[in-house]
Structure 1
Amino acid sequence: MTTQDLLDERYGRTRSPRRRIVGWSIVAVLALGATGFLGWTTVANSLGSVTATDTGFTVENDRSVSATFQITAPVGEPVACALEARDEEHGTVGWRVVEYPASDQHSRAFTEKIPTLSLATTGFVNACWVP
């Protein structure tokens, strides 16, 4: 052993294999923890979301349109939806917010009438949420 090696060993200037293993173990635990946290937040956010799918509409007359849609929401939570009617120039001619009580079903279908100011060419769900 050279004098430099003896001095390095004596004063702790070398890294032992144990220190390397402990360092990489800490890095691995932190990486696994971060991955688990991101996975859990993704699942938790999707469990509380509400989605709506338009399935049709019927123009009743120049003062109302019916929108048919299906919502998928968390079980046991009330849901509110904003319904919108538009004319042929894409202007909003009717708007209505409907609230549904909590249900034990995950998916439900509805048909709702939207009052309009003039003749509408479409009716649809703008957004749904858990109030």
Structure 2
Amino acid sequence: MTTHQMLDERYGRTRSRAPRWLVVSGVVVAAAVIVGAGWMTVAGALDDVDARTTGFQLVDDGSVRIDFQVTAPPGRSVACALEAQDADHGVVGWKVITLDETDGTARAFQESIPTVAEATTGLVNSCWVT
């Protein structure tokens, strides 16, 4: 018997390992977390919509025209929130539009927004799959 073993015996120390079921349970939980995180990432990317404002024109004191481009998943309808702002970045016009099913390529659109005051800019606030 070695000195180390004699000291362990004298002071009641034991070299215990975690039970096998505990190790297996930990591995299973870790694998489930990784698979779940991966699925959430993939599922979120499947409905990803890219919208870019390409220009705007102030038509008059009561409206602004926005030019924008949308790329969405094929075969899905998309809704977009368009916004007109004044010089202080206050919202003076807001419109939600629905776009027909897309083919997965970028498509250009032009839409007018009525405003309650003179606007200085127009933009796409956000777009989402409907």
> Which interval holds the TM-score relative to the shorter structure?
0.7 to 0.9
Q: Deviations over 1:21-43 (max 9, x none)?
A: x6534432332222011111111
Kept in 1: contact 2:72–2:102 (CA 8 A): no
Instruction: Provide the rounded CA distance (Å) in 2 between the counterparts of 1:98 and 1:23.
Output: 54
User: What corresponds to 1:9 in structure 2?
Assistant: none
Q: Deviations over 1:39-75 (max 9, x none)?
A: 1111102212323222221112222211122222221
Once the two structures are overlaid, the 10-residue window that deviates more, 118-127 or 54-63, is 54-63
Structure 2: which amino acid aligns with 1:54? Answer: T
Are 1:53 and 2:52 counterparts?
A: yes
Are 1:42 and 2:41 counterparts?
A: yes
Q: Deviations over 1:101-125 (max 9, x none)?
A: 1121243221211122332100011
TM-score after normalising by structure 1:
0.73
Unaligned 5+ runs, structure 2: 2-8, 10-14
Unaligned 5+ runs, structure 1: 6-13
Structure 1: which amino acid aligns with 2:91? Answer: T
Matched pairs, number: 119
Alpha carbon RMSD of aligned pairs, Å? 2.7
Kept in 1: contact 2:78–2:99 (CA 8 A): yes
Are 1:108 and 2:107 counterparts?
A: yes
Instruction: Provide the rounded CA distance (Å) in 2 between the counterparts of 1:63 and 1:26.
Output: 64
Are 1:97 and 2:110 counterparts?
A: no
Kept in 1: contact 2:95–2:113 (CA 8 A): yes
- Structure 1 segments (4+ residues) deviating >4 Å: none
Structure 2: which amino acid aligns with 1:122? Answer: T
1:58-73 matches, within 5 Å, as 58-73=57-72
